[in-house]
């Protein structure tokens, strides 16, 4: 090799090494040298010296005002967070001058009577910079022990996001009492619709020996105010009730308890019979009632803080009360009565429907099922039953209207079920931040009796003053280091929990918190990731299913690839009824299935007339010709073509947007996420071409921009 070549090679190598070194330095700053995967948004990366200086005056001691498992956790978390982010070495004990004071409101009052106390409900917290015994101190008060722990997490989050806390006086309380996640884990270790690896709880038909990840999950959940977790699939295995299984479940409860997270089980209603104890599971049979009582008492002996049950019945093959001609209320109440003396609750799912509907009957409509089944039972459920309603009337599609059942129960507790795991929204292989979608559902005004009655207020029991209510999020985290298969998908878990705590938070505020906690405070990183996440739902919708058409994916297979014909001519009822002339489900009262009639009159007035039905839900409510002109002035078919092309193009642009973060995000994470965007760009093109060509073949109407049919015109 000639010397000039050596020099050029050396230059190139030198440049590459420099790049790597630079990227490496920044990488260290961004990752903070902490394990960032399993810790997710709790990475507690060291702050830069300048930022850390803001917190130099924070107390050097922590004093806990009574002994409890959860307060002990709170103290340890505080010590750990302060040490990792600020290098502060906080000592436990009161014999200091300045102190972090951790306790209930009543205890704080006893010690510092001069402090004017706020009102604080269960799980709420108060962060207050205050003088205690004459020294500048910091009060973290809770409505209960869990509230204190939540207060510690809130304080640490403020520091990680470099917020000014010098004069903090912040009271925060949850919007609803029950904020649960559901895991669809099977006892063999698989997770139904899980995209983050195998179960953290179960393997080979039993509870795992090592429950470290369960404990870490408890920490993550507690940090965002989740207080319950149903640990097994709603397509439930009755074996969880076997005498030898309950002690195993106790171990999971033990792993969660320090974090104030109660566990609960999905229950198979046929368990009394399936386990061979009785010849019936008829909820009105006194022997069945006695069976549930005995079983529940047994569980509470092992797990005194057990939360209760989640129940899927008469749905997709799950056994239910219809076997004996009984109602869903009969089934819910028999179990609720066994739980009631212990303070447990039943989340009874409204997802009851017939999946053998006759598709040829144009009046049949799966969307009607939840309301048809549960509205007539309003008032018949016990006070510790909560009807768990999916946000939309079908099944977690990329766009659905809210379920009318939210407005159909006036004397019954409700919870909203949201799907964090991205079953129909890209399976964590594609970016789809769901908080903006959930916000639309929660803010939707049902106009009951022409009053402002948003869904969030209904599920919190605020409208009809029901005893309880809440949120259930299907999370399905797994053993993968980053829990969900994709680091960016964790924003949905974080966002679900933040909305359950406070549904008035904006999507922008939530993603800003999450990005800062996960990736640090570099303004370019925060700006770029926030913007990508916030646009991602709409982009995904644009290339997979605009205008509320419903399922275009393979519903009899993987729920992922485009397969628009798979939803037709079968009993599942996820029909879009596309034919040569038009597309959409006619759900009007006038000519269709009458589904729209399940909404309060003010909402019916929006959806029933074509003229007022919003474009984004048009095909959910109406069957229209391809030549129908939208509010935008475009024909329906042209909109479908354009939307798919624009969506695919925008998905492709994620790549360049992500590339602007090279050197600002730790290299391994940067490359991993880049590869995901490259993959998504390809998938978006597959979706675009499949759907556009399919609808072109069906309708015969060409794209005005001439983008279609070229291949099929080839000889």
> What are the Cα distances from residue 251, in Å, to 257, 264, 302?
10, 13, 10
- Interface with ligand GCV includes 180 (CB under 6 A)? no
CB 554 within 8 A of CB 566: yes
Which of the residues 316, 378, 646, 672 is marked catalytic?
316
Min separation Cβ 238 and ligand GCV, Å: 16
Per-residue x/- mask for ligand GCV, residues 422 to 451, rule CB under 6 A? -x----------------------------
Which of the residues 173, 395, 414, 683 is marked catalytic?
395
- Interface with ligand GCV includes 561 (CB under 6 A)? no
CB 97 within 8 A of CB 135: yes
Min separation Cβ 356 and ligand GCV, Å: 14
Q: What are phi and psi of 604, to 5 degrees?
A: -55, -40
Which of the residues 77, 382, 423, 480 is marked catalytic?
423
Give the residue among 254, 270, 273, 271 at the shortest CA–CA distance from 262: 254
Q: Which is nearer to ligand GCV, 235 or 657 (CB)?
A: 235
Q: Which is nearer to ligand GCV, 236 or 497 (CB)?
A: 236
Of positions 219, 257, 312, 447, contacts ligand GCV by CB under 6 A: 312
Residue 582 is classified by DSSP as E
Residues with Cβ within 8 Å of residue 384, at least 6 apart in sequence: 308, 336, 339, 340, 344, 345, 346, 467, 468
Count of residues engaged in binding ligand GCV, rule: CB under 6 A: 9
SS3 assignment, position 575: coil
- Interface with ligand GCV includes 190 (CB under 6 A)? no
Min separation Cβ 129 and ligand GCV, Å: 46
> What are the Cα distances from residue 501, in Å, to 219, 227, 305, 494, 542?
16, 10, 21, 11, 30
169-172 and 125-132 strand pairing: antiparallel
CB 519 within 8 A of CB 32: no
Q: Which is nearer to ligand GCV, 327 or 476 (CB)?
A: 476
Within residues 230-259, the interface with ligand GCV by CB under 6 A covers 234-235
Name the strand (E) or helix (H) holding 262: strand 262-267
Q: Which is nearer to ligand GCV, 219 or 349 (CB)?
A: 349
- Interface with ligand GCV includes 395 (CB under 6 A)? yes
CB 326 within 8 A of CB 282: yes
- Interface with ligand GCV includes 622 (CB under 6 A)? no
SS3 assignment, position 415: strand
Residues 677, 682, 686: CA angle, nearest 5 degrees: 140
| Rounded Cα distance, 311 and 331, in Å | 10
- Interface with ligand GCV includes 353 (CB under 6 A)? no
| Rounded Cα distance, 187 and 192, in Å | 11
Min separation Cβ 669 and ligand GCV, Å: 30
| Rounded Cα distance, 321 and 10, in Å | 77
- Interface with ligand GCV includes 193 (CB under 6 A)? yes
SS3 assignment, position 456: helix
Assess whether 616 carries a catalytic annotation: no
CB 171 within 8 A of CB 124: yes
Of positions 150, 184, 433, 621, contacts ligand GCV by CB under 6 A: 184
Per-residue x/- mask for ligand GCV, residues 43 to 82, rule CB under 6 A? ----------------------------------------
- Interface with ligand GCV includes 185 (CB under 6 A)? no
Q: Which is nearer to ligand GCV, 68 or 183 (CB)?
A: 183
Q: Which is nearer to ligand GCV, 312 or 664 (CB)?
A: 312
| Rounded Cα distance, 202 and 191, in Å | 10
Q: Which is nearer to ligand GCV, 192 or 305 (CB)?
A: 192
Of positions 192, 254, 378, 689, contacts ligand GCV by CB under 6 A: 192
Min separation Cβ 335 and ligand GCV, Å: 18
CB 237 within 8 A of CB 49: no
Assess whether 316 carries a catalytic annotation: yes
Min separation Cβ 589 and ligand GCV, Å: 27
Which residues carry out catalysis? 316, 395, 423
Q: Which residues bind ligand GCV (CB under 6 A)?
A: 184, 192-193, 234-235, 312, 351, 395, 423
């Amino acid at each position: 090799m000639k010397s000039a070549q050596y020099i050029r090679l050396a230059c190139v190598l030198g440049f590459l090494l420099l790049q790597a070194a630079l990227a490496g330095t920044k990488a260290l700053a961004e990752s903070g040298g902490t394990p960032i995967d399993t810790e997710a948004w709790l990475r507690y990366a060291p702050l830069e010296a300048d930022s850390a200086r803001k917190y130099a005056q924070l107390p050097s001691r922590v004093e806990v005002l009574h002994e409890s498992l959860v307060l002990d956790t709170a103290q340890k978390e505080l010590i750990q967070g302060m040490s990792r982010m600020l290098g502060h070495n906080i000592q436990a004990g009161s014999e200091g001058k300045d102190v972090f004071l951790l306790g209930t409101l009543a205890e704080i009052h006893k010690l510092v009577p001069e402090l004017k106390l706020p009102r604080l409900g269960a799980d709420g917290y108060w962060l207050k910079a205050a003088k205690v015994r004459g020294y500048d101190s910091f009060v973290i008060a809770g409505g209960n022990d869990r509230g204190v722990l939540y207060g510690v997490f809130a304080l640490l989050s403020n520091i990680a996001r470099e917020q000014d806390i010098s004069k903090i006086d912040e009271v925060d309380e949850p919007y609803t009492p029950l904020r649960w996640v559901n895991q669809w884990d099977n006892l063999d270790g698989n997770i139904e619709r899980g995209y983050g690896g195998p179960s953290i709880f179960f393997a080979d038909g039993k509870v795992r020996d090592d429950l470290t990840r369960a404990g870490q999950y408890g920490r993550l959940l507690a940090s965002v105010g989740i207080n319950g977790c149903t640990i097994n699939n709603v397509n439930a295995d009755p074996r969880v009730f076997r005498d030898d299984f309950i002690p195993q479940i106790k171990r999971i409860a033990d792993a969660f308890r320090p974090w104030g997270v109660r566990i609960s089980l999905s229950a198979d209603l046929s368990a009394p019979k399936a386990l061979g104890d009785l010849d019936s599971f008829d909820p009105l049979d006194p022997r069945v009632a006695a069976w549930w009582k005995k079983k529940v008492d047994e569980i509470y002996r092992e797990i005194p803080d057990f939360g209760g049950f989640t129940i899927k019945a008469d749905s997709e093959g799950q056994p239910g009360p219809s076997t004996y001609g009984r109602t869903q209320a009969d089934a819910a109440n028999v179990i609720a009565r066994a739980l009631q003396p212990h303070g447990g609750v039943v989340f009874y799912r409204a997802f009851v429907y017939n999946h053998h509907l006759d598709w040829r009957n144009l009046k049949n409509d799966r969307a009607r099922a939840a309301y048809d089944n549960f509205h007539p039972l309003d008032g018949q459920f016990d006070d510790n039953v909560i009807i768990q309603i999916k946000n939309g009337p079908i099944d977690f599609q990329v766009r659905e209207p809210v379920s009318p059942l939210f407005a159909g129960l006036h004397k019954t507790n409700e919870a909203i079920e949201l799907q964090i795991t991205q079953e129909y929204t890209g399976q964590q292989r594609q970016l789809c931040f769901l908080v903006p979608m959930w916000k639309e559902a929660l803010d939707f005004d049902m106009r009951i009796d022409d009053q402002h009655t948003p869904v969030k207020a209904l599920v919190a029991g605020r409208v009809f003053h029901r005893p309880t209510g809440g949120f259930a999020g299907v999370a399905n985290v797994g053993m993968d280091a980053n829990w969900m298969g994709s680091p960016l998908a964790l924003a949905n878990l974080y966002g679900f929990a933040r909305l359950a705590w406070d549904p008035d938070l904006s999507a922008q505020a939530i993603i800003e918190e999450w990005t800062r906690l996960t990736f640090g405070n570099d303004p370019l990183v925060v700006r770029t990731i926030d913007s990508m996440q916030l646009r991602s739902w709409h982009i995904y919708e644009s290339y997979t299913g605009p205008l509320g058409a419903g399922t275009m994916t393979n519903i009899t297979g993987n729920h992922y690839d485009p397969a628009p014909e798979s939803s037709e001519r079968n009993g599942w009822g996820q029909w879009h009824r596309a034919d040569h002339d038009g597309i959409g489900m006619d759900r009007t009262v006038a000519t269709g299935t009458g589904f729209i009639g399940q909404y309060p009159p003010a909402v019916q007035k929006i959806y029933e007339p074509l003229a007022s039905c919003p474009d984004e839900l048009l095909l959910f409510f109406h069957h229209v010709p391809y030549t129908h002109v939208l509010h935008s002035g475009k024909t329906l078919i042209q909109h479908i073509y354009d939307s798919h092309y624009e969506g695919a193009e925008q998905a492709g642009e994620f790549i360049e947007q992500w590339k602007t973060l090279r050197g600002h995000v730790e290299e391994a994470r940067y490359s991993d996420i880049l590869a995901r965007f490259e993959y998504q760009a390809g998938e978006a093109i597959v979706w675009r071409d499949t759907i556009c060509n399919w609808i072109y073949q069906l309708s015969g109407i060409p794209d005005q921009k001439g983008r279609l049919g070229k291949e099929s015109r080839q000889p």
